Amino acid sequence: MAVNDFAPYMDIFEGMEPFSGYVEKGFLIDFVGQRTDANFRTIWGVDPETSGGRDMQTKLPDLSGGEAWFEYFNWVAAAKEARGSYVMMTLGSCYGGQAVGSYLALQALNPMPSMLVAVDGVPENMEMTRKQFRDNGINPDEHWMIEAAMSGDNKPVLFPIGAPGSGTQNCIVTNSGANRMAILDLAKKAGATERLAQSLLMRNSTDLTIDLAPGTEYDFSGEITFVSAVTLNDLLAPFPRVDFVEADLQQSEKVVFPPAMDALTKKVRRVLLGTHGRDTHDRMERLFQDHGWDILFSYPPEQTYETPYATFDMNDGVITAVNPAVAYSS
């Protein structure tokens, strides 16, 4: 199977009717009719006062949209091939848009009983995810809402809490041994080891704040706190089959996926990874290839790509992989 061959998939949206209708004030809408509270996007310059409040006509996805096209492609492809029941996991859920979009695509194309699993370590993100579900007619209490960081084991991790909706958190930098020693060294130099110990014991926090988007125009910060951790093996264990796993973990992919590859290859049909840095991208591509997965699309981050169908920019980078070991009967 050729990587980045769009020819077999350019008709994936054929026959779908993009959303058309009234959108209430303060909401955004996408082609499957997913309503998103514009307040969730103000950090990216969206103005709730000018959002919605009128009739709107959406369009089917176009490859020139870059990253978004690959997300929409996987929503629809996973929905079309599902059989019997449907399980979708979003790791690093942010406000839950990937889970809800996948669910709405399923209901439009191939309705069946479904379970959504949303995981995020930022409490405000989980509240937004619950609201996103409710705003789109989904009862979050009927699905798995897990407030935890994704990691390679279940030890509590140092994780930056803040900038909800930004999707900028990971446990790679803050939880490393080197970073933990740096925190201790800072406290020693400032004569604040007692304060650090008190904060850790009483609040599970280092009481330190870091810039979550250094070198950018965005003023995102997070307080480094201890949070519970869940593994991908934990999430997969109860399910005989998972149709779609979407992950946007800001480099935590490097610790989350390797320990779970045996279970993934046994149970999971489709994966969409947002990759962050060329090293992470290359590692993840090799990991899935080595376990027999087919790589449909692989575009490293921070580049512009020209194809016969469109030119598009990639910020995070994407990998779409499908697992031939998990097939569906017709």
Q: Which of 29-43, 162-176, 302-316 has the lowest mean pLDDT?
A: 162-176
Q: Looking at residue 330, what is its pLDDT?
A: 62
Length of the chain: 330
Q: Which of 82-86, 250-254, 256-260 has the lowest mean pLDDT?
A: 250-254
Which of 116, 123, 163 has the alpha carbon at shortest distance from 147?
A: 123
Model-level pTM greater than 0.75? yes
Query: Per-residue pLDDT averaged across 110-138, rounded?
Result: 96
C-beta of residue 318 within 8 angstroms of C-beta of residue 297: yes
Within 8 A by CB and 6+ apart from 95, the residues are 36, 37, 40, 125, 128, 129, 131, 132, 165
Q: Looking at residue 186, what is its pLDDT?
A: 77
Q: Looking at residue 325, what is its pLDDT?
A: 95
What's the pLDDT tens digit per position in 132-180? 999 999 999 999 999 999 999 999 988 887 666 566 666 677 777 888 8
Q: Quick one: pLDDT band at residue 213, thresholds 50, 70, 90? A: low
Element (H, E) at 156: none
What's the pLDDT tens digit per position in 19-29? 999 999 999 99
Where do the domains of the chain lie? Answer: 17-59, 60-153+229-322, 159-226
Task: Report the C-alpha gap between 195 and 192 in whole angstroms.
Answer: 5
For residue 190, how many other CB atoms are within 10 A of its CB? 10
The mean of the pLDDT values for the chain is 91
Which position has the higher pLDDT, 197 or 52? Answer: 52
Q: Which of 68-72, 147-151, 202-206, 255-259 has the lowest mean pLDDT?
A: 202-206
Q: Quick one: pLDDT band at residue 45, thresholds 50, 70, 90? A: confident
Within 8 A by CB and 6+ apart from 160, the residues are 169, 174, 210, 212, 221, 222, 223, 224, 225
Which position has the higher pLDDT, 131 or 208? Answer: 131
Q: Looking at residue 217, what is its pLDDT?
A: 72
Q: Report whether CATH 3.40.50.150 matches the domain 60-153+229-322.
A: yes
What's the pLDDT tens digit per position in 279-304? 999 999 999 999 999 999 999 999 99
